[in-house]
Structure 1
Amino acid sequence: MSVLSAVLDAVRSGAVEVVDLTTPLQESTPILRLPEPFGNTRQFQLEEISRYDDRGPAWYWNDIHTGEHTGTHVDAPVHWVTGKDGPDVSQAPMRTLVAPAAVIDKSAQAAADPDFLLEVEHVRAWEGEHGPLPDGGWLLYRTGWEARGEDAAAFLNADEDGPHTPGVSAECARWLAEESPLTGFGVETVGTDAGAAGGFDPPFACHHFLLGAGKWGLTSLRNLGRLPATGALLVVSPLPIVGGSGSPARVLALVER
């Protein structure tokens, strides 16, 4: 039996489960909101072209209006000034889009403190228990934030001091970018950076360091609690937008059961 036939049989039998990590795209999907004077992306919207009517009697279809960074999406290196000479989303290597995944779970800490930050020591402790981070793989950061995904206000969690969402310290972001073997980093929150990261040194350190190092980001993931700490295979499918800084994506994980 070929390798691909064996995988297909494993999926059909349930020996391998395909877990969807994607937030559905709809008008209510939470999106990042930047303060003035910065520009903002638009909310996702369907615009009907025809639906079995005089505009098209036998077919239904829509135009879609959305930004590159809406819902579950990929951040390409070119998205940030530190990666401006890097690849756009259409140039994502296949070895990045299909790669092993590790999951670090700090949902209990984030439930107690929405400003919780992942530190290098947390990743080192995870490695002490589970082994090294996957070479050329993804680190997926579980915070439990997906539970807020149907309520935009709770998901963005902003007050007069700004947004309060868990993330990564500046030092950990630098370490993941420069010293880890990862190809990318994924989160459940609206962006890879913590809500307070605008005040970090440098600001938005995940974007600054990871994209500047040619690594990739994934945001608004769901169902990370259904993945093991190690052993899942991630499949990331962004639109190949030429010149694009990112793209909404369908993200799947293959998990042995």
Structure 2
Amino acid sequence: MCAPSVIAAALAGMSRRDALHFAAGVVAGVACAACSAGSCAATDGPPSDPPPKGPPTAKRTIAADQVQDLTHTLSPAFPIWPGNEPIRVTNKGTFAKTGFYSNRWDVGEHHGTHLDAPAHCSASGATAERVDAGSLIAPAAVIDIRERVKANADAAVTVDDLIAWEKTHGRLPKGCAVGLLSGWDAKAGDAKAFLGTDATNTLHFPGFSKAAAEFLATERDVAGLLVDTLSIDVGATPEFAVHKVWLGAGKWAVECVANLGKIPPSGATVFVGAPKVQGASGGPTRVLALWG
């Protein structure tokens, strides 16, 4: 059997589909080895005695030294797009009174760390429950524009930024999720700062440029976008061009992501726990990154 470091090295160069095939082969090989060692019942005789019972052994099905939560805690205080209502949490039972603790949530689909399904901005786009599950497990490619954002709140990821990332890390992996790291998540405790509202009520925060979205949608095999701001478009956009290009191409996005600066620019895998509600245009989402 291969050592974990050998398996990790092999998986590093594979697409997600190839990696799954490789993992299946490893499992099959282990099963065959167990049978050859006498742990399986003979095919031409009575079955062997069952193995002695004992406490189950905890096993990690995915090897990863690091796990990072990329999700903000959602509460009524979390910033929300102007004109929308924040989450309302109503207690429906306490352990002392009913023996169970439970709450009712009243929440809009696009609040907190949340998914934008294609249907959010495309009449023919998939609703949340129809987003391909395989696309929600994706290699992460993090584009760091924090230095530019310090001087310009309306900074956007450009095609040049994507090409520069590829010069350092190689071509964007098939089926990846491209993340915008602007450092904006640090402002989430201050709604006015997070929205970047100016005296004219115009919003200001970073996003993707239309050209970058078109490049990723047509020139690369990218599953989704992750942004640490309120929108994949820059805040001051008048037309939401990136939403139209990206979601119109049948892709998903997650907005209001946290902690992108704590994961490597390349080499992590993100797991997007998208909501599965019939007809939903999106919804609050748990996002995790694993690597190492």
TM-score normalised to the size of structure 1?
Answer: 0.87
CA distance in structure 2 between the partners assigned to 1:69 and 1:25 by the alignment = 11
Give CA deviations for 1:191-241 in whole Å, capped at 9, x if unaligned.
11100111xxxx212101000000111111111111111111110002201
CA distance in structure 2 between the partners assigned to 1:239 and 1:122 by the alignment = 31
Paired residue secondary structure (1:186): strand
1:8 aligns with 2:51: no
**Residue in structure 2 matched with residue 92 of structure 1 by the alignment:** 131
**Structure index of larger Rg:** 2
Give the residue type in structure 2 aligned to 1:97: L
**Residue in structure 2 matched with residue 65 of structure 1 by the alignment:** 106
1:31 aligns with 2:71: no
**Residue in structure 2 matched with residue 18 of structure 1 by the alignment:** 67
**How many Å apart are 1:10 and its aligned residue?**
7.0
1:146 aligns with 2:189: no
**Residue in structure 2 matched with residue 174 of structure 1 by the alignment:** 214
CA distance in structure 1 between the partners assigned to 2:235 and 2:251 by the alignment = 21
Give the residue type in structure 2 aligned to 1:95: G
**How many Å apart are 1:7 and its aligned residue?**
8.1
Change (3 A) 1:132 1:6: farther
**How many Å apart are 1:189 and its aligned residue?**
0.3
**Residue in structure 1 matched with residue 92 of structure 2 by the alignment:** 49
Out of 114, 119, 122, which is 2:153 matched to? Answer: 114
Out of 164, 167, 173, which is 1:134 matched to? Answer: 173
* Aligned length, in residue pairs: 239
Give the residue type in structure 1 aligned to 2:77: S
Paired residue secondary structure (1:247): strand
Q: Is the 8 A contact 2:275 2:284 kept in 1?
A: yes
Q: Is the 8 A contact 1:10 1:16 kept in 2?
A: no
CA distance in structure 1 between the partners assigned to 2:232 and 2:224 by the alignment = 10
Q: Is the 8 A contact 2:180 2:208 kept in 1?
A: no
Q: Is the 8 A contact 1:174 1:205 kept in 2?
A: no
**How many Å apart are 1:165 and its aligned residue?**
0.4
Percent identity between matched residues is 38
Change (3 A) 1:218 1:10: closer
Higher relative contact order (CA 8 A, sep 6+): 1
**Residue in structure 1 matched with residue 54 of structure 2 by the alignment:** none
**How many Å apart are 1:71 and its aligned residue?**
0.4
Unaligned residue ranges in structure 2 (runs of 5+):
2-22, 28-56
CA distance in structure 1 between the partners assigned to 2:214 and 2:74 by the alignment = 31
**How many Å apart are 1:126 and its aligned residue?**
1.2
Change (3 A) 1:10 1:217: closer
CA distance in structure 1 between the partners assigned to 2:153 and 2:250 by the alignment = 29
Q: After TM superposition, which residue ranges in structure 1, 4 or more long, deviate above 3 angstroms?
A: 1-7
Give the residue type in structure 1 aligned to 2:146: S
**How many Å apart are 1:97 and its aligned residue?**
1.1
Change (3 A) 1:242 1:48: same
**Residue in structure 1 matched with residue 256 of structure 2 by the alignment:** 220
Greater strand share, structure number: 1
**How many Å apart are 1:118 and its aligned residue?**
1.5
Q: Is the 8 A contact 1:32 1:191 kept in 2?
A: no
Give the residue type in structure 2 aligned to 1:217: A
**How many Å apart are 1:6 and its aligned residue?**
11
Give the residue type in structure 1 aligned to 2:84: T
Paired residue secondary structure (2:135): helix
Out of 270, 275, 285, which is 1:234 matched to? Answer: 270
**How many Å apart are 1:180 and its aligned residue?**
2.1
CA distance in structure 1 between the partners assigned to 2:208 and 2:106 by the alignment = 31
